[in-house]
Structure 1
Amino acid sequence: MALEDFIAREVAPGEPLTAQAWNDIVRATADLISTVQGLSGSVLEVMIANADVDPAQARVTALGADGGAVEAARPIKPKGPFILTNLTPGPYTIRASAPGFGTATTTVTAPSATTVELALERTQPRMPSVFGEALAVALELLKEEGIAVSRVIDATGREVAPANPDPDYRDTPVLMQLPAAGEPVSSKTGAQLVVAASVKVEPSVEVPSLTGLTLDEARQVLDDLGLVLGKVTTKR
């Protein structure tokens, strides 16, 4: 809208202000605001309703009728709005997306709209923290969250079957997890865990004195204890 010439007359203190003069001021101010908005574009605030959406990973755009897209500035403070600027008058499709969530859209007409709120639908589960948990506990937690575990290895690189881990690994703690806690888990890759190496402790048996026994007698005593007679040295 083009600005029309505004004819103003100064009044002295105490002089009455006519309705016509006041209306001229109102119309001129409205024309000025409309013209400035047309030149610089309007501003639209977009709030994402999901508290668990990371603003640093979210994206908000405005798609105009002409196909042009405007990228929103991310919030300056926590739980703040995304800011779309330089929106020329007309209809827009506002889109918001984030990893692990579907895309939410709405339509607005600038400059009438000033704030919109969008709620995103979760499409991928979030990885819980299982660091330090026993492998059996971690696997159960992930199962409850609907997260498949694609791979488990121990600290030495040995593969551990996620579906049926060896009993020696059930109580070993989780040392690392992928993805990190709070990150979305893709159904294609699943979760991966690194656990401590299993330490097998062999049972110990006290070796009895074999002094004075014949070789056959000594072998029999050891056999009864589940021991194997090793190298025999004959002393003359």
Structure 2
Amino acid sequence: MQTTEYIDTLRREGGLLADAAERTGADVPVPTCPGWTTGDLVRHTGTFHRWAARIVAEALPGPVPEDPMPREPTGAELLPWFREGHGALVRTLRAADPGLDCWAFLPGAPSPLAFWARRQAHETAVHRVDAESARGGALSPLDAGFAADGIDELLSGFHARRSSRVRTGRPRVLRVRPDDTDAVWTVRLSPDAQPRAERTAAGPADCELSGPARDLYLLLWNRLPLDAVAVTGDRDLAGVWRASSAIT
């Protein structure tokens, strides 16, 4: 995907998140984020929008803590605060120099600007699903190509880091195969190292997850139950992913 496509998706997903939160109310529990209310979700996402915008706008070379808020926005202030920060992030990314040199924390993107546009688009899309889950009713559609890109970011980016907690008692292979895109991943799991994802269907797999890219994307982010997709082979291996793959 192009950077402009990520930014367009970020703009859309942030708007949907705010709309869902407005309909729901700030005190409603979020079933996909146990212990959180919709207000917590909106504050979390809005804080990270501001954090990312600062890194891009100031071309910061290293990680920085989240900016402390003088006080947490609540009540009638919350959604205008969220929309202001979301809009500022979109504008900052659109205005940024394509040659921007700043800190990024995952492999796989062709440039720091592409990284931040991609990361914030997916961050916001997943939390939009959280907001809509709290609201109830059908989820808004998600493009299959974008969902497949999010699977790749998760498997080849987040879980390529040593901090990934996904381990198996012996070497195992998990395959992820969307049925509405030509992407496929083979993920090699072991007791001692982080998962290693390859864009290939070569070789046997102990367990395969298949279904629409959107459902696999949300399943791998633990936003849908395992029975939302087809599971072939060792279902317990899919359970290991569910139990240990949370990103913190």
Q: TM-score, normalised by structure 2?
A: 0.24
Higher relative contact order (CA 8 A, sep 6+): 2
Query: When you count helix as a share of all residues, which structure comes out higher?
Result: 2
Query: When you count strand as a share of all residues, which structure comes out higher?
Result: 1
Q: TM-score, normalised by structure 1?
A: 0.25
